[in-house]
Amino acid sequence: MKFDFLIVGAGFAGSVLAERIATQLGKTCLIVERRNHIGGNAYDRYDEAGVLVHNYGPHYFRTNSQRIIDYLSRFTEWHGIEYKIFSWTHGRFWQFPINLNTFEQLIGRPSTSEEMEAQLAEWRVAIDNPKNSEEVIVSQVGWKLYEMFFKNYTRKQWQRDARDLDPTVCGRIPIRTNRDDRYLSEKFQALPKNGYTAMFQKMLKHPLIEVRLNTDYREVRTQVAFRHLIFTGPIDEYYDHCFGHLPYRSLRFEPETLSQEFFQLAMQVNYPNDHDFTRIVEIKHATGQQLPSTTIVREYPENFGPGREPYYPIPAPDARALYSKYAERAASEKKISFVGRLATYRYYNMDQIVGMALAEFERLRVNLQRPESFVLSSSAA
């Protein structure tokens, strides 16, 4: 069997590239996906109670890029939503991320942005260039709020202290002194109207794209001839861990269906200091689905190991140093593209992965105009 492109993984990275290559270049693509579905971690499905659930944790689409909205809008309409969450600690629900409402809860009376700013100026630790996730929070709000909301959540999620993680990890969470209580700040916040899986189905519906589920790259690599490989799985696995295993963090999702319309007051409640789980997600709040029952999912962080998925690369200097060895080797490959969250070992959101895939497509398009760069490359060629 001969294909122009062999693509490993049917998540955002693999699917966007297959769609572009098939429709814009008229080349054939075989996607192999070792799970039993398309969509990667963004996969959603209707459970037995008919509730649309995000199978691998909540996926809140957001972006500032009009180009990415325009691209994805070819495959879906959108359900606009402002993502809102709460945090549970010290025996009560708190407005989260930290904003003026949270501050009022803390001091027990009405306040103003000016008062909150003056108070934070007192609490803040003077650090000009935060070097880690602890510094990025204490330099904005001081120790008390850091300890209430960030310290233990981060330890639970990553099994590391915030001071051993890049500033970008906790720095993802906005801190505001106004009443904007949205979890995210990007200008476009919406979910695909009929779900992610429906969007992927449309993206991959093309006569030049073949998708084989339940198929690991290792099973097909000597059986399929291809001109170029696009690999979106873990890069250390591709190279048989030759420089050592990259660290990842895994999760266990525990769903529970309840015969009531809603379980909690928002789509997500974080538990920084109580329980072994980090959050309870009730995605029905976000999808807008109307049903008499609901499904909640508790998320338990776990070590990565056999039988577990590598959900999160670990954004920290030690992990990055190891990744750079793989990246160096990958850079010398002429007929392989490493694209996506696991192949580039980056804690990226969906829109960033779409952007990365579109950029790689442009690079491939230019390269393909050089005939010598496009020769059959598998051992079966």
Site of interaction with ligand FAD (CB under 6 A): 8-14, 32-35, 40-42, 56-61, 216-217, 232-233, 251, 311, 340-342, 348-351, 353
Kindly tell me which residue out of 76, 154, 294, 295 binds ligand UDP, with binding defined by CB under 6 A. 154
User: Which is closer to ligand UDP, CB of 270 or CB of 378?
Assistant: 270
Question: Pattern of binders to ligand UDP over 221-260, x per CB under 6 A?
Answer: ----------------------------------------
When binding is defined by CB under 6 A, the residue of 169, 191, 204, 230 that contacts ligand UDP is: 169
Residue 296 phi/psi, 5-degree rounding, is -110, 155
Contact indicator for 78, 190 with CB cutoff of 8 Å: yes
* Burial grade of 233 (CB within 10 A; 0-12, 13-18, 19 or more): buried
Q: Does 41 sit near ligand UDP (CB under 6 A)?
A: no
Q: How far is the CB of 113 from ligand FAD (least distance, A)?
A: 28
CA distance 373 to 351: 29
**Binder to ligand UDP among 7, 10, 32, 170 (CB under 6 A)?**
170
Query: How many residues make contact with ligand UDP (CB under 6 A)?
Result: 13
Q: How far is the C-alpha of 266 from the C-alpha of 175, rounded, in Å?
A: 19
Q: What is the x/- site pattern for ligand UDP, positions 266-305, by CB under 6 A?
A: ----x-x---------------------------------
How many C-beta atoms lie closer than 10 Å to residue 277's C-beta?
Answer: 18
Sign of CA dihedral 310, 362, 331, 347: negative
The one segment of 99-107, 150-158, 196-204, 280-288 that binds ligand UDP by CB under 6 A: 150-158
Q: Hey, what are 45's tokens?
A: 């499905």
Name the minimum Å distance from CB 164 to ligand UDP: 11
Q: State how far the alpha carbon of 54 is from the alpha carbons of 60, 70, 199, 253, 267, in Å.
A: 10, 23, 14, 10, 12
In angstroms, give the least distance from the CB of 235 to ligand FAD: 10
Tell the residue number behind the tokens 């799970």, with chain if given: 35
Instruction: Return d(Cα 75, Cα 343) in angstroms, integer.
Output: 25
CB of 140 to ligand UDP, least distance (A): 13
Closer CB to ligand UDP, 19 or 164, in the complex: 164
Binding-site member from 68, 173, 204, 208 for ligand UDP (CB under 6 A): 173
Structure-token pair, residue 175: 């801190």
Q: Which of 37, 78, 351, 292 is nearest to 194 (CA)?
A: 78
Indicate the residue among 32 and 190 with the shorter CB distance to ligand FAD. 32
- Single-letter amino acid, residue 350: M
Query: What are φ and ψ of residue 371, in 5° steps?
Result: -60, -35
Contact 52, 289 (CB under 8 A): yes
Q: Which residue is nearest to ligand FAD (CB)?
A: 40
> In the complex, which residues of this chain contact ligand UDP (CB under 6 A)?
87, 96, 149-150, 153-154, 157, 169-170, 172-173, 270, 272
